[in-house]
Amino acid sequence: MSDTANKALLPTGLRDVLPPDAALEAVAVNRLLGVFAAHGYDRVKPPLIEFEESLLDGVGAVTTKDTFRVMDPLSQRMMGVRADMTIQVARIATTRMVRHPRPLRLCYAGQVLRVKGSQLRPERQFTQAGIELIGADTPVADAEVIGMVIRALDAVGVRDVSVDLMLPPLVPAMCDALQLSPEARRTLRDALDQKDAAAVKAMGGDVAGVFGVLLGCIGEAEEVLSRLQAMDLPAAAAQRRDTLAEVIALVREEHPAATLTIDPVEYRGFEYHTGVSFSVFSRGVSGELGRGGRYRAGEAQERAVGATLSVDAVTEAMEPLSSGPRVLLSVKDRLLAGRYQTDGWVTLNALQDPQDFAAEARRLGCSHYSVGGDLHAINDKQG
Amino acid sequence: MSDTANKALLPTGLRDVLPPDAALEAVAVNRLLGVFAAHGYDRVKPPLIEFEESLLDGVGAVTTKDTFRVMDPLSQRMMGVRADMTIQVARIATTRMVRHPRPLRLCYAGQVLRVKGSQLRPERQFTQAGIELIGADTPVADAEVIGMVIRALDAVGVRDVSVDLMLPPLVPAMCDALQLSPEARRTLRDALDQKDAAAVKAMGGDVAGVFGVLLGCIGEAEEVLSRLQAMDLPAAAAQRRDTLAEVIALVREEHPAATLTIDPVEYRGFEYHTGVSFSVFSRGVSGELGRGGRYRAGEAQERAVGATLSVDAVTEAMEPLSSGPRVLLSVKDRLLAGRYQTDGWVTLNALQDPQDFAAEARRLGCSHYSVGGDLHAINDKQG
């Protein structure tokens, strides 16, 4: 992105992905969706734009400010360019595929656009890839989705993955049990969001006691769990905690070495989640690789779990592709392209036979050339 | 698309691609781009939107009426949602990659949007996949691109492909030689576009004579070529004809059985082409599978040849995917998913163990289930 000509050419936050990055992204998407498909997730592809009512409906409302809008000249209604695909896939599951047997497993990949980037991430176009598991109510479903993300990242060679688990409904459940006023809830929410232990303490009484302890419960999953299990939580909150414990045990059974952490009071960005939620990170990559969790889909409020991976972040964590050896073919030898390709070569046709095949091959990044059916190495250390 | 609920949900010409069509499309894109990559075409990925000046510049002007526009809140400049990727890839080649060695081979795939569909094709979102060969001046280059399209379609199993070759600069070259007035050119162009032999004849003189013959020159490539070669064409036109003959001979050398036809006066939709152009069809699919030809790229007017495939039309011509056998795994047996997948199974985890595994497997479209590590067939003819 240091090319100044290009900066003048493209709007802020939008970019041309060049070789070899574009190929790496395509490989990432293919491998991720390959893992999903092997687990019975069927691919769907919603359109890039649709009526804003359906795009910004329900949980989609959080993307309202992010969404580009255009007038549909045919219907004279406003359409939005999608800022997120999750909402579209939930729409498909609960409308067009409403009669398909549950649990319904769907996967997707595609581009999304945002009106503005953030200061940290100026990008305005992203590649998403994800899964939705619709009509699924058991901890096995939550564990499946979390496990699927771990597997998919493993399939693209992303190492040192950590899954940070959250429980967005826990704090509201405890506020209910403590019969907190709306104002006290807001004060508490702010304090928790800022991890401000002093502000929590200042609230005094039961609130200060129990949330003070919860605020300190951050870290390795099994350790935090045992501390949560030692707490005398109100019934609704205790049930949430027990579900989380069950999900973690199921994930652990499949992925004994996975790095799992818990932050039970984290909430920002997960407001519409109704159960266990998670963010995924990898050492060496700033920002999330993906996120997901339990929510309700569509008008019928079907129980669902999903996960979305940010393919841009995923490719940042991937090794570069190793490109195959390249051979320059003489005009006549272009007829042998298929044979070379079968043997793993990338072939480049000469568009006219050069005087110096070796020099031309070198110029085009080839290690070999083929003339009269014979393969020649160019004996170049750079080749 | 007979789903009435969906018609209400989505704007005209936009649709949800459901299973198994979305997976088929992804397979098509992967295979097409695999063929391109094997021939040294490097993938690029331009953004979905960019400033309208760059999008609608030069040859992009033909998409002006098709292009959705949005205001960029950051720059307060108008941006367009791409209606075609060719222009973007040419932009990349001639700006950001201007210093890369020529010939430059680039490939791409992605979504494009159009403001309105046509009466014949109401669709407003398309998947394009294509190649651009930039800085290439020889008939070998034209033949490479045409041959690549034939190979790529073969790789996705599309049979009965025919390539219809055109020569858009031929008629202008002959008009120049005959020193036709602008008005006579327009009359002739209309008559040729409508294949109106009577109107051509009515023009009288040399025009009626030579274009009357040309208008009849439609059909199998080598046959038309020999008729064109028998004509006493003006020098500039004769040179065009000889280049076409050379391109066809080169394509024929690589694809002896290919169906090649020539329509030397066809022009519509190829106005910006500067040499041999082509449309690709397949028996049984209405409309083009793709098109391409020679043009000039960027401000420096670099010589280039390209081809774009309409993936939507390509998938119409493809055989459906054969899906692997599906097995329902008990909650415990989900730990064996990887092993089953290695053996070619698609695995579905039970989210809780059903009372009747066979019935549950059948309900979910599985032919088998696995409990206690044992694989069971459900003995169902539908399985």
pLDDT digits (tens, 9 = 90+) for A270-322: 888 999 999 999 988 888 999 999 999 988 899 999 999 999 999 999 999 98
How far, in whole angstroms, is CA A199 from its chain's centroid?
Answer: 34
Instruction: Inform me whether the C-beta atom of residue B5 falls under 8 Å from chain A C-beta atoms.
Output: yes
A164, part of any domain: no
Task: Please give the structure tokens belonging to residue B62.
Answer: 């033909």
B183, part of any domain: no
CB distance A368 to A326 below 8 Å: yes
State residue B4's pLDDT score: 43
Does B57 show up as a binding residue in the annotation?
Answer: no
> Do A151 and A124 fall within a single domain?
yes
Domain that holds residue B152: 10-158+287-314
How do residues A308-351 score in pLDDT, each as one tens digit? 999 999 999 999 998 889 999 999 999 999 999 999 999 999 99
> Do B16 and B48 fall within a single domain?
yes
Single out the residue in A305, A322, A339 at which a domain terminates. A322
State residue B1's pLDDT score: 40
Does B97 show up as a binding residue in the annotation?
Answer: no
Short-list A50, A63, A54, CA closest to A115: A63
State residue B268's pLDDT score: 79
Parallel, antiparallel or unpaired: strands B277-282 and B302-310: unpaired
Distances (CA, A) of A200 to A167, A238, B331: 19, 21, 42
> Do A122 and A186 fall within a single domain?
no
> Do B21 and B99 fall within a single domain?
yes
Q: Where does chain B have alpha helices with state H?
A: 4-9, 21-38, 52-55, 86-94, 139-155, 170-177, 182-193, 197-202, 205-216, 221-230, 235-254, 311-316, 337-342, 357-363
> Do A86 and A137 fall within a single domain?
yes
> Do A180 and A50 fall within a single domain?
no
> Structural domain tally of chain B?
2
Write the burial class of residue B57 (CB in 10 Å: 0-12 exposed, 13-18 middle, 19+ buried). middle
Residue B208 has pLDDT above 60, yes or no: yes
Single out the residue in A225, A249, A265 at which a domain terminates. A265
Tell me how many helices (H) and strands (E) chain A has: 14, 16
State residue B380's pLDDT score: 57
Could you say which DSSP state residue B276 is in?
-
A359, part of any domain: yes
Does B86 show up as a binding residue in the annotation?
Answer: yes
Residue B47 and residue B325: Cα distance in Å, rounded? Answer: 38
> Do B310 and B338 fall within a single domain?
no
How do residues A178-205 score in pLDDT, each as one tens digit? 999 999 999 999 999 999 999 999 999 9
| Average pLDDT value for residue range B132-150 | 97
> Do A4 and A137 fall within a single domain?
yes
The CATH number of residue A116's host domain is: 3.30.930.10
Sheet holding A290-297, edge to edge: A42-43, A104-113, A125-134, A302-310, A290-297, A277-282, A161-166, A259-262, A219-220
- Chain B neighbors of A43, CB-CB under 8 A: 19-20, 22-23, 26
- Chain A neighbors of B103, CB-CB under 8 A: 351
Residue A2 has pLDDT above 60, yes or no: no
A163, part of any domain: no
| Average pLDDT value for residue range B123-145 | 97
B114, part of any domain: yes
> Do B103 and B140 fall within a single domain?
yes
Residue B169 has pLDDT above 80, yes or no: yes
Which of the pair, A6 or B356, is modelled with greater confidence? B356
State residue B8's pLDDT score: 54
- Chain A neighbors of B85, CB-CB under 8 A: none
How do residues B209-259 score in pLDDT, each as one tens digit? 999 999 999 999 999 999 999 999 999 999 999 999 999 999 999 999 999
B265, part of any domain: no
How many CB pairs (< 8 A) connect A and B?
A: 237
A253, part of any domain: yes
State residue A322's pLDDT score: 86
SS3 B307: strand
State residue A178's pLDDT score: 93
Place of tokens 């989609």: A60
Residue B6 has pLDDT above 50, yes or no: no
- Chain B neighbors of A251, CB-CB under 8 A: none
| Average pLDDT value for residue range A365-378 | 97
> Do B305 and B357 fall within a single domain?
no
State residue A246's pLDDT score: 98
State residue A319's pLDDT score: 93
CB distance B345 to B367 below 8 Å: no
- Phi, psi dihedrals of residue A133, rounded to the nearest 5°: -115, 105
pLDDT classification of A9: cutoffs 50, 70, 90: confident
Residue B346 and residue B325: Cα distance in Å, rounded? Answer: 6
Short-list B363, B297, B289, B369, CA closest to B331: B369
In chain A, positions 189-248, which contact chain B (CB-CB < 8 Å)? none
